[in-house]
């Protein structure tokens, strides 16, 4: 009898874990707009920097005329994106009840995001940041964030995004600046915009299903 109860308890615990993971995935889907927002922010920064030209990231002069990392484009865009994410997140936060898994995933992204906002200005101020290292570091960090989130949620789609970012990180170490730019743009489109739209569509379908059932 005790063994049967232990087996039943084990099944209940596994069911609870699966429920928590499902709730965490739904919570992540409700933040799909963040992926799209930051994907657009990356494109805006690259377009702005390419248009202004002649300066490298964070304002250091570059021998590459028309570098995609010119002037104030990246710092202004990134800090604006962070502020906009915080503002929209606070306004939307009350609509989605927090879960343990959801908070764990959010912690992963906050940690990676804070690391990026601290590291890149410091590297640039020290004159140790170029196009290849910038893309490699960004891609590696975003790969780590997607991998951490994907492992917690057991989400193959997000793990695939992590692999794309890691491949981009390796590719960024080779080739010309133009090739690195193309690699970065493709990774941003696939892992930020496409994945963000995918999660938003899943949330929309789920909400429509809830309305139908209601």
- Beta carbons of 155 and 195 less than 8 angstroms apart: no
- Stretches in the chain below the pLDDT threshold 70: 1-25, 52-71, 93-98, 209-214
* Dist CA 204 CA 191 (whole Å): 19
**Confidence (pLDDT) at 137:** 94
* Dist CA 28 CA 48 (whole Å): 30
**Confidence (pLDDT) at 60:** 43
Q: Could you read off the pLDDT of 121-164 as tens digits, one per residue?
A: 788 777 787 889 999 999 999 999 999 999 988 889 999 999 99
């Amino acid at each position: 009898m005790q063994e049967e109860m232990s087996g039943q308890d084990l099944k209940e615990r596994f069911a609870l874990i699966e429920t928590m993971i499902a709730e965490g995935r739904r919570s992540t889907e409700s933040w799909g707009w963040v992926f799209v927002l930051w994907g657009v922010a990356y494109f805006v920064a690259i377009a702005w920097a390419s248009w202004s030209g002649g300066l490298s990231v964070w304002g250091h002069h570059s021998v590459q005329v028309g570098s995609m990392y010119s002037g104030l484009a990246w710092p202004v865009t990134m800090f604006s994106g962070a502020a906009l994410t915080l503002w929209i997140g606070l306004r939307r936060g009350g609509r989605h009840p927090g879960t343990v898994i959801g908070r764990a995933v959010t912690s992963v992204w906050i940690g990676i995001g804070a690391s990026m906002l601290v590291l890149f200005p410091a590297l640039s101020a020290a004159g140790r940041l170029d196009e290849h290292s910038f893309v490699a570091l960004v891609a590696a960090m975003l790969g780590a964030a997607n991998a951490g989130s994907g492992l917690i949620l057991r989400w193959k789609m997000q793990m695939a995004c992590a692999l794309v970012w890691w491949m981009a990180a390796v590719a960024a170490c080779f080739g010309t600046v133009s090739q690195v730019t193309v690699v970065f743009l493709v990774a941003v489109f696939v892992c930020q915009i496409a994945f963000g739209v995918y999660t938003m569509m899943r949330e929309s379908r789920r909400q429509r299903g809830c309305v139908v059932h209601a």
